[in-house]
A = this chain, B = another copy of it.
Amino acid sequence: MKTKKEEQMKSSLHELFLDELKDIYYAENLLAKTLPEMAEASTAAPLKKAFQGHLKETQNQIKRLEQVFKLLDEKAEAKKCDAMEGLIKEAKSLIKDNEAGLTRDVGIIIGAQKVEHYEIAAYGSLATLADLMGHTEVKVLLGETLIEEKATDEKLTEVALNFVNEKAAAE
């Protein structure tokens, strides 16, 4: 039998877990709205393509989060995520402050990698919490998204390094 203290801890951890899920649900929806703008503002074809691909992935990740809420018997709700608001504001400034071309592309990659790292940290924590609370199926779903976010970050590094090599070759 569980003690009252253990029950309280379980309930407060559940609240924290739920709050973090609502935070990333907000963040993913905001990102899905912004990705077409990032694709549009990119000059290099591989970068445009990367953002278009990540939009589809993000839409799927949103559905996956809705599945997580359902598995937990909770309503899918978004809670304003100040960090993602700031990250998107920064990414938009990088677009606004630079004319179309290589520098803007590099700026967009920087902004996008910061967004990806926010998501990597968020899904990493959520997967650990799901494990701690015994939500095995939920942990698997969150883990799938975590792998995708890491792959997107690596893809963006690859695109950035290609810029570096092209630049070096042109010198």
Contacts and interface: CB of A to CB of B under 8 A. Distances in A.
Copies in the complex: 2
A16 B98 contact: yes
Instruction: Say which size band chain A's interface belongs to.
Output: 35 or more
Interface in A114-130: 114, 116-118, 120-122, 124-125, 128-129
A102 B90 CA distance: 33
A167 interface: yes
Given A16-B103, A82-B86, A121-B114, A128 B98 contact: no
A118 B97 CA distance: 21
Nearest to A23: B90
A20 interface: yes
B16 A106 contact: yes
A70 interface: no
Contact of A120 (B102, B117, B124): B117
Given A20-B110, A103-B16, A132 B167 contact: yes
6 contacts: A15-B103, A82-B86, A110-B122, A117-B118, A124-B157, A128-B164
